[in-house]
Structure 1
Amino acid sequence: MGPLGPTERGELAARAREIADDLATGAVRAVALTWVDNAGVTRVKTVPRHRLPHIAAWGVGASPVFDVFCVDDSITTSRYIGGPVGDLRLHPDLDRMTVLAAQHGWAWAPVDRWTQEGEPYPACQRMFARRMAVRLADAGVRMRAAFEVEWFVGKTADDPVPATTGPAYGMTRVVELSDYARDLLDALAAQDVAVEQFHPEYASGQLELSVAPGDPVAAADMVVLVRQTIRAVAGHHGLRVSFAPMVAAGQVGNGAHLHFSLWDGERNLFAGGDGPYGMTARGESILAALLDRMPALVCVTAPSVASYLRLVPQRWAGAFQCWGRENREAALRFVTGVTGAHDTAANAELKCCDPAANPYLAVGAVCAVAAHALDAGLKLPAEVTVDPAALPEPERPPRLPDSLPTAIARLERDDLLREAMGEELFEAFLAVRRAEAETFGDREPEEVVAATRWVY
């Protein structure tokens, strides 16, 4: 991605003018432009519709200090980023422009962040995801990915009062929330979001929704859009939602499991090979590398203090550094699909991923590891076919980090992820993680959960 010159700016303005005219016919008056910071919080600038051509060409200003915002809106600093000086330009991705069905008069687009000199901003998380997807594609492989979306639906109160009293996975919840669920599915359909399934989850008031896979950047964009839509529809019904890793201390939390498959042309690298369950050699090598780097990767995919209240054994959170076919207690679950559909259905699920993660960083990090390991010839260790916690301690696989400081220490030592992210982004991300670990390190679980419950 090169610098923005006069030709590129002119083309962007012309295209945005056409889009703005189309938006006017749908009574859209303003556009929300979002990015996700290193705390995993979606931030926004909004512009009137008529400003879209100018904004597409020249961007809208935003301070780089957002890269060192923490979950409680306190501000830390890093080696390269921090303080009141400097400015960036937010450029909307016009290909992702979406009219928001649950927010009348509004449209949405994710942004890429550029410098004032028209150069890609090295700490832009969305650009990082794109760079790593391109790095993988340059090696001859493309990724298809999707995040599962889990959330808590509550009544409009500070305390987490579930909006449904139905049992886990129970039809009662669908009955009690049928109007909300119907309106949500209608809104997503109007936004061309391909929902594959929707169901009640385990925890009180918890629901889950799965969407069709896309390229890595599209997968991250999609989860931002879906969560925004879920929140907007809930507001119309007088409900409140939370995507926090933990909504009530000591209970099951919200996950954001990342499903992904890898393709060489039309061939799925997780099927039709000679490896475990039909994995190809390259597919197995990638999964082996991800499993090996999981203690560092988890700092990206489960990055908050609250994440480690969720990431515990026997909660289906993936707390152990192991893999297994359909093993929901393993950090890496391998999914073959039903017999006869392996070629298209086989995928891997990263279980140790929650909604506090910046989805662009999560998919970018997975792509970086995949590109590095593609032809490394790595082999997976022995599969774990039972609940890892039930094994005798000498046979039990290692636990993933059980606290944010431990995860930070592992990520700090990972040279591959440091190189992939670049020093500016890597150091800013670590600064936020260290600041949050210090802020919440001596607090009781109930205090941590209360402080983060309604942020995500």
Structure 2
Amino acid sequence: MTTTYSPAERAAQARAAEAQLAADGIDGVVFGWVDNAGLTRVKSVPRTQLEHAAEYGVGAVPCFDVSLVDDSFTTAPASTGPVGDLRLVPDLDRLTPLAAQPGWAWAPADRYTQDGTPHPGCQRSFARQVTEAVEQRGLSVRAGIEVEWVAADAAGTPATVAPAFGMNRFIEHSDYLREVLRALTAQGLTVLQLHPEYAAGQFEVSVAAEGPVEAADTAMLVRHTVRAVSARHGLRVSYAPVFAEGSIGNGGHLHLSLWRQGHNLGHGGPGRHGLHPEAEQFLAGVLAELPALLALGAPSVSSYLRLVPSRFAGAYRCWGLENREAALRLITGSAAGQANAELKCFDAAANPYLEIGGVLAAGLAGLDAGLPLPPETPSDPAALASAERLPATLPEAIDAYEKSELLRQALGSELYETVLAVRRAEAELFSMHTDADVVEAVRWRW
């Protein structure tokens, strides 16, 4: 769990870190946060300014709360346009020298108001608050987000068209993938899998599970690292939900497991496939809220070009053991600690802090209400007349989000309304575009 420090404690932490950074040859530190359109924004300081930045923060304009994927802006009830300022405060517990960007280190940032209170629109603070609510119930969550990407040459042509999951693709880019593996490992991450994926030029990496806020941080660090390694190999990277119209897209699958006193509640219980009652209720809460959660986890117009049946995207509101067409795939694993649930309907256009916080809030609501887990879907839901499609467009997801009192309360009015404003504005932005136009417009934005 991320610890909150006082300004004086942060300054002391920074002084200790600066000496090590100097010894490591680090000249500057990048502070990153993710906006409501899912874009990572950054500011940086010289290493010698780290203490001041840690104690007082670095200025950041609040208008990025209402920025869209094309860098235009909308408005929301709490937005102040060009007026005002926030403070970016780095979390030095996650300070990481960047293996593929020599001389630079990175840290995720929380956003504070000028008077030192957490900014109500800070998505990372929201994820932390919901995580603390989980812990207050004597529970904990382990999470991880898969990272899929398409690597392409300077002209935008996929770097390989070799067979999906094929050794040919791996051989063609073995030096590139080895450097990705080395860079992630050098940054202290435990890589579980690294392999070629289905679409042309597509690859995937997954890392070890950790706490919810930490998992969101790590997802961003992995994406930054893959992009930096790719640049060193003359490759461009796209995390967009769809790289080419009509193809399987880039997912951002969220894996979760619920724990109590060191025991995984997805294993060894009396319920279906070993689920404990608390795990069943938690997952039932997520399924109940899933249409609204898509506004957080599949937030782009392009998300719904990926979220279609028969593309392993999880387009149906159901769950099943190892069912890759269900939105919620249950994974028992080969050992007790590996049991988890995978949300397949999310993608990398999402702000990971928003999606994780929203999912935890929905799971807690399921626990509080004692919701029963619906019947399992053991086959391809596309072949079942009774299968329920998730929203098929961003406006449909927005409609579900607007009806969600649960998310309104969990996010708080300012963050809830700001997310809503951004989603509405992006739906309008692309309302007259063809699918091909949408793909082209956002291919390189994430």
Check whether TM > 0.5: yes
Aligned counterparts, 1:69-88, within 5 A: 69-88=67-86
1: CA distance, partners of 2:161 / 2:250: 18
CA distance in 1, matches of 2:369, 2:271: 15
Selected match of 1:156 from 147, 154, 157? 154
Q: Which residue pairs with 2:421 in the alignment?
A: 431
Q: CA deviation at 1:8?
A: 2.6
Q: Distance in 1 between matches of 2:170 and 2:80?
A: 46
The aligned counterpart of 2:294 is 298
Which one-letter code corresponds to 1:449 in the other structure? V
Q: Say whether residues 1:331 and 2:324 are aligned partners.
A: no
Q: How far apart, in 2, do the equivalents of 1:422 and 1:324 lie?
A: 32
Q: CA deviation at 1:362?
A: 0.8
Runs of 4+ in 1 over 4 A off after TM superposition: none
CA distance in 2, matches of 1:9, 1:402: 46
Q: Secondary structure at the match of 1:164?
A: coil
Matches of residues 245-264 of structure 1 in structure 2 within 5 Å?
245-264=241-260
Tell me if structure 1 keeps the 8 A contact 2:284–2:363.
no
**C-alpha separation in 2, matches of 1:400 and 1:165:** 31
**Deviation digits for residues 212-234 of structure 1, max 9, x if unmatched?**
00000000000100000000000
1:380 corresponding residue in structure 2:
373
SS at match of 2:199: coil
Letter in 2 for 1:17: R
CA RMSD of aligned residues (A): 1.2
Counterparts of 1:279 and 1:184 in 2: how far apart (Å)? 36
Task: Find the residue that maps to 1:43 and give its secondary structure.
Answer: strand
Is contact 1:326-1:334 (8 Å) kept? Answer: yes
Question: Which of 55, 70, 73 matches 1:57?
Answer: 55
Write the distance in 2 (CA, Å) between the matches of 1:265 and 1:77. 45
Shift of 1:165: 2.6
Alpha-carbon spacing, 1:143–1:216, altered in 2? closer, same or farther (3 Å)? same
CA distance, structure 2, for counterparts of residue 235 and residue 364 of structure 1: 32
The alignment-based identity, stated in percent, is 56
The separation in 2 between residues aligned to 1:282 and 1:226, in whole angstroms, is: 31
Q: Which runs of 5 or more structure 2 residues have no equivalent in the other structure?
A: none
Secondary structure (helix, strand or coil) at the match of 1:293 reads helix
**2:109 corresponds to which residue?**
111
* 1:100 matches 2:98: yes
Local SS of the residue matching 2:369 = coil
Alignment of structure 1 residues 23-422 onto 2, 5 Å:
23-157=21-155, 160-338=156-334, 341=335, 343-391=336-384, 393=385, 396-422=386-412
CA positional deviation for 1:378: 1.6
Query: How many residues of Structure 1 are paired with residues of Structure 2 in the alignment?
Result: 444
Tell me if the contact between 1:168 and 1:200 (Cα under 8 Å) persists in the aligned partners: yes
Instruction: Provide the rounded CA distance (Å) in 2 between the counterparts of 1:99 and 1:208.
Output: 23
> CA–CA distance in 2 between the matches of 1:320 and 1:8?
45
Q: For 2:142 and 2:309, how far apart are their aligned partners in 1?
A: 29
Instruction: State whether residues 147 and 258 of structure 1, in contact with CA within 8 Å, keep that contact through their aligned partners in structure 2.
Output: yes
Contact 1:330 1:388 in 2 (8 A): yes
Return the offset for 1:372. Answer: 2.2
Query: How much does 1:26 deviate?
Result: 1.1
TM (norm. structure 2) is 0.98
Matched AA of 1:219: A
Following superposition, the deviation at residue 373 of structure 1 comes to 2.0
Cα distance in structure 2, aligned partners of 1:217 and 1:321: 26
Q: Aligned to 2:105, what secondary structure does the other structure show?
A: strand
CA distance in 1, matches of 2:123, 2:325: 29
* 1:375 shift after superposition: 4.2
Give the conservation status (yes or no) of the 8 Å contact 1:282–1:375: no
**In the aligned structure 2, how far is the partner of 1:78 from the partner of 1:257?**
29
Q: Secondary structure at the match of 1:272?
A: coil
Q: Which amino acid aligns with 2:19?
A: D
Q: Which amino acid aligns with 1:254?
A: N
Partner deviation per Cα, 1:1-43 (whole Å, 9 max, x = no partner): 9xx9xx9322211210111111011111111100000000000
Partner secondary structure for residue 47 of structure 1 = strand
TM-score by length of 1: 0.96
Give 1:190 shift: 0.7
Aligned equivalents of 2:262, 2:11: Cα separation in 1: 36
